[in-house]
Amino acid sequence: MSLPIAVLISGSGSNLQSIIEKMEDNILDVDIKVVLSNKADAYGLKRAEAYGIPTAVLSHKDFGPREEFDAEMVRILKEAGVEAVVMAGFMRIITPVFLNAFPGKIVNIHPAILPSFPGVDGQGDAAKYGVQLAGCTAHFVDEKMDHGAVIIQAAVPAYPGEDEDELRERILKQEHRILPQAVQWLAKDRLSVEGRFVKLAEADVDLAETDGLSLINPPLEVGF
């Protein structure tokens, strides 16, 4: 039984693309009911359309308080039969109106090893700090930005002073692996949260080969 999900985007949608491809390859047990963006020009909308996935655009300029915007998002997602939400580069803060509609079922990808470098430019902040290790985090969303319980993280080497785009690409490659993996564990109901701690239930699945470049924990499974 596939988990009916929505993917929220604001831009390119390369993380969305990774989820779509793994769904199409029957690696990811999800059914993307709708891709929603707050930006009409988000390229990710074209990625969804290319696979016949329904899309929706909600401009926050058309709404008053954040709660009104969130209530309309909830209406659209519930109408589409969505049970879990993936935030893949969705650049808006959500309110309890949205959180309470999908309790414990909202996952976000952040391009830094949280709690380091929260906010809108995790990669850039890490690069400017001169870190030797950077990375990304897939986590549950709670009422604070980039704060929810951590599901999976990947660390990659950083080279102080390197071209920031090279670091962004190195991190993004791992985002495309850990986010779908986190969504799969959610789809298979293998995640439980106790306070800040996410526990992954055991399962009879093979682990992926490591690429020697990154450290990922919990380890990825074959296909991710």
For the annotated catalytic residues, the residue numbers are 110
The SS3 assignment for 4 reads strand
Task: Using CB under 6 A, pick the residue from 11, 54, 118, 157 that binds ligand GRF.
Answer: 11
Q: Is 109 in the site for ligand GRF (CB under 6 A)?
A: yes
Q: Which of residues 119-158 bind ligand GRF (CB under 6 A)?
A: none
- Decide: is 111 part of the binding site for ligand GRF (CB under 6 A): yes
- The nearest distance, CB 10 to ligand GRF, in angstroms, is 7
Q: Does 177 bind ligand GRF (CB under 6 A)?
A: no
Question: Mutual orientation of helices 43-50 and 14-24 as an angle, nearest 10°?
Answer: 10
What is the C-alpha separation between 195 and 55, in angstroms, rounded?
34
Burial class from Cβ neighbours inside 10 Å (0-12, 13-18, 19+) for residue 158 reads buried
The residue range among 67-75, 95-103, 104-112, 157-165 that interacts with ligand GRF, by the rule CB under 6 A, is 104-112
What are the backbone angles phi and psi of residue 164, rounded to the nearest 5°? -55, -35
Taking CB under 6 A as the criterion, the residue among 33, 155, 158, 175 binding ligand GRF is 175
Q: Does 116 bind ligand GRF (CB under 6 A)?
A: no
d(CA 181, CA 191): 12
Considering the complex, what minimum distance in angstroms separates the CB of residue 15 from ligand GRF?
3
Under rule CB under 6 A, residue 110 binds ligand GRF: yes
* In 51-203, alpha helices (H): 66-79, 96-99, 122-129, 164-187
Question: Which of 68-76, 103-111, 155-163, 197-205 is the region at the interface with ligand GRF (rule: CB under 6 A)?
Answer: 103-111
* Least distance (Å) between residue 219 CB and ligand GRF: 21
Cβ of residue 169: shortest distance to ligand GRF, in angstroms? Answer: 10
Question: Quick one: 15 exposed, middle or buried, by C-beta within 10 A (0-12, 13-18, 19+)?
Answer: buried
Report strand pairing: 55-57 vs 30-37.
parallel
Q: Which residue has the tokens 């400017």?
A: 128
Q: Which is nearer to ligand GRF, 13 or 180 (CB)?
A: 13
The yes or no reply on residue 55 touching ligand GRF (CB under 6 A) is: no
- Please give the helix or strand (H or E) that residue 113 lies within, else none: none
- Which residues of the chain form contacts with ligand GRF (CB under 6 A)? 9, 11-15, 44, 88-89, 109-111, 172, 175
